[in-house]
Amino acid sequence: MSSVAKEWREIPGRYNLEGSKCPCCGKVYFPKRNMCPVCRRESIGKMEPYSISRKGEVYTFSIIHDAPDFTTKLKPYAVAMVKTTDGIMISAQLVDVDPADVRIGMPVRAVLRKIKTDGPDGVIHYGYKFVPDE
């Protein structure tokens, strides 16, 4: 059994996005924060864990044409501001979709994807991205 397969197996099949909610003003933050930038001192140590819906729709988006140098040719990709079903705005990359097909209002859901692998031991980092949700 390779370590890659083990890593994947340990990721729960169902999960929500973990954010935090300010008990003073009720605002929800993602990624989670230790302090509400609005309420500041009042919110320190009081931020509550908040489970954000994985489902949402594309609120706005832009197509990124990333070309680090002349020898590398990367496909353009879409970065979207997603409004989740509970009304939280999350900025993330859209994957598994042709950027030309991205539309405002398109239903999407968050998935955990490999972002990069570090060093000889192959420590794998994961992050949230959004895919079309049919």
CB neighbours (10 Å) of residue 102? 19
- How many binding residues for Zn ion (CB under 5 A)? 6
Least distance to Zn ion, CB of residue 31, Å? 16
Task: Identify which of residues 22 and 108 has a Cβ nearer to Zn ion in the complex.
Answer: 22
Closer residue to Zn ion, CB minimum distance, 39 or 81: 39
**Strands 28-29, 89-94: parallel, antiparallel or unpaired by DSSP?**
unpaired
Q: Is residue 35 a contact residue for Zn ion (CB under 5 A)? A: no
Across the beta sheet with 17-21, the strand order is 28-29, 17-21, 48-52
Asked if residue 131 binds Zn ion (CB under 5 A), the reply is no
Q: Give the residue ranges of DSSP H helices in the chain.
A: 3-10
Say if CB 110 and CB 129 are below 8 A apart: yes
Residue 36 touching Zn ion (CB under 5 A): yes
Rounded distance between C-alpha atoms, residue 134 and residue 131, angstroms: 9
* Least spacing, CB of residue 26 vs Zn ion, in Å: 7
Q: Please pick, from the candidates 17, 19, 20, 22, the single residue that binds Zn ion as defined by CB under 5 A.
A: 22
Q: Contact positions toward Zn ion, by CB under 5 A?
A: 22, 24-25, 36, 38-39
